[in-house]
Amino acid sequence: MTKESKKQNVADLDWSNLGFSYRDLPYSYHEDFKDGNWQNGGLTTASTLTLSEAAEDLHYGQEVFEGMKAYRRKDGGINLFRPDMNAKRFVNSAKRLLMEPYPEEKFVATVKAVVKANQEFVPPYGTGGALYIRPFMIGTQPLVGVAPSEEYQFHIYATPVGAYVKGLVPMPYVVSKYDRAAYAGTGQAKTAGNYAGSLFPSILAKKAGFADCLYLDPREHKYIDEFGGANFYGITKDGQFLTPKSNSILPSITKKSILEIAKELGLHPEETQLKVSELAKFSEAGAMGTAAVISPVGSLTYQDKKHVFYSETEPGPVTKKLYDALVGIQLGDRPAPQGWVQEV
Ligand code: PLP
Ligand code: COI
């Protein structure tokens, strides 16, 4: 009943207008876990999976994933940005979902193998595109009762993408009245359920004319949490970089990196609770993530009041500086701190 989707022809790609969509590339990676061991994984041309109708993941959502990018350098080489951090978070997500952790070193090696095998699909330097890599793992044991699976499938696909939000264009956002994750729930894990729960509030926001919604802390609805697919930052009027400290947000690798970059830039970065009632103290705000890169937040609407940050049409100067520093490091144009960039 499954049908192989059509493989993407590299000559048909318009590198500067890729959008953020799935294309079926020549190679993926697949590995099964059963009888207590990972079994002979390898590259595969198959881009479909075969599952029991009772597979754990289909009913009870035992799934974790990662999102990372491979960047084409000016000299034609290919960089990965802190893949060891994705490997660590993948293990942490798996532990929270009570799944078999995938070994960190093997994770990085298999990601590199997928990028190498599909290297002609890493967009050229200067197009703004990158090869998006999606490692994921699902519980596949047939189970009727709610229980952790003892069998897993680990799989990686890659697909060339443009920016999730194109260019450094400020976008309007709205504070959602819904929650993305519970206070002591699965918000720190990169797992499907968090995203399934965000679909309804996100579509409501889009229908009302916003780019997406921003979630508050689920316990009090007083503090800023994060976006559905990116962490939040604000720049105070006296130039400090602030980003939420919360139990229910994803520990973003872009955020961790920007915290260090902001320190170098003298922005005295801090992770702290940010009251949504105090938006007026920020002169700039933005979203940070692998897909989002750094995307300026033009305005944020909260309780029917629109707060404009720097401008609704132009990115602020600190946002521009952070973007240039981050992207410069990822593309290999600027020196990277020790271990941040790994060549494929
Ligand atoms: N928050 C959520 C909910 C995400 O899905 C993502 C994307 O991975 C991020 C934050 C940003 O994390 P990272 O910078 O590691 O991509
Ligand atoms: C990523 O940035 O890698 C993500 O997973 C975000 C996703 C919503 C596209």
Q: Which of 190, 206, 306, 320 is catalytic?
A: 190
- When the pLDDT of each residue in the chain is averaged and rounded to a whole number, the result is 96
**pLDDT bucket at 57, cuts 50 / 70 / 90:** very high
Question: Quick one: tokens of 247?
Answer: 């139990």
Pocket probe for ligand 1: among 136, 231, 257, 288, the residue whose CB has the most ligand atoms within 8 Å is: 231
First to last CA, the chain: 36
Question: Quick one: tokens of 73?
Answer: 């350098």
Given a cut of 70, whether residue 112 has pLDDT beyond it is yes
User: Average of pLDDT values for 170-190?
Assistant: 97
Helix-helix angle 253-264:317-330, to 10 degrees: 110
Q: Whose CA is nearest to atom 7 of ligand 2?
A: 229
**Domains in the chain, CATH or no CATH each:** 10-161 (3.30.470.10), 171-331 (3.20.10.10)
74 is a catalytic site residue: no
**pLDDT bucket at 6, cuts 50 / 70 / 90:** confident
Alpha helices by DSSP H, listed for 6-82, are 56-60
User: Average of pLDDT values for 127-145?
Assistant: 97
Distances (CA, A) of 323 to 50, 69, 317: 41, 16, 10
- Running DSSP on this structure, what letter comes out for residue 197? H
Who's near 67: CB < 8 A, 6+ residues apart?
A: 86, 132, 133, 134, 190, 289, 290, 291
Q: Would you state the pLDDT for residue 2?
A: 46
Given a cut of 70, whether residue 173 has pLDDT beyond it is yes
User: For the chain, how big is the Rg over CA atoms in Å?
Assistant: 20
pLDDT, one tens digit per residue, over 209-249 is 999 999 999 999 999 999 999 999 999 999 999 999 999 99
CA dihedral 211, 212, 217, 222 (to 10 degrees): 40
Question: Quick one: tokens of 232?
Answer: 């939040």
Place of tokens 């443009």: 162
User: Average of pLDDT values for 40-56?
Assistant: 96
pLDDT, one tens digit per residue, over 295-314 is 999 999 999 999 999 999 99
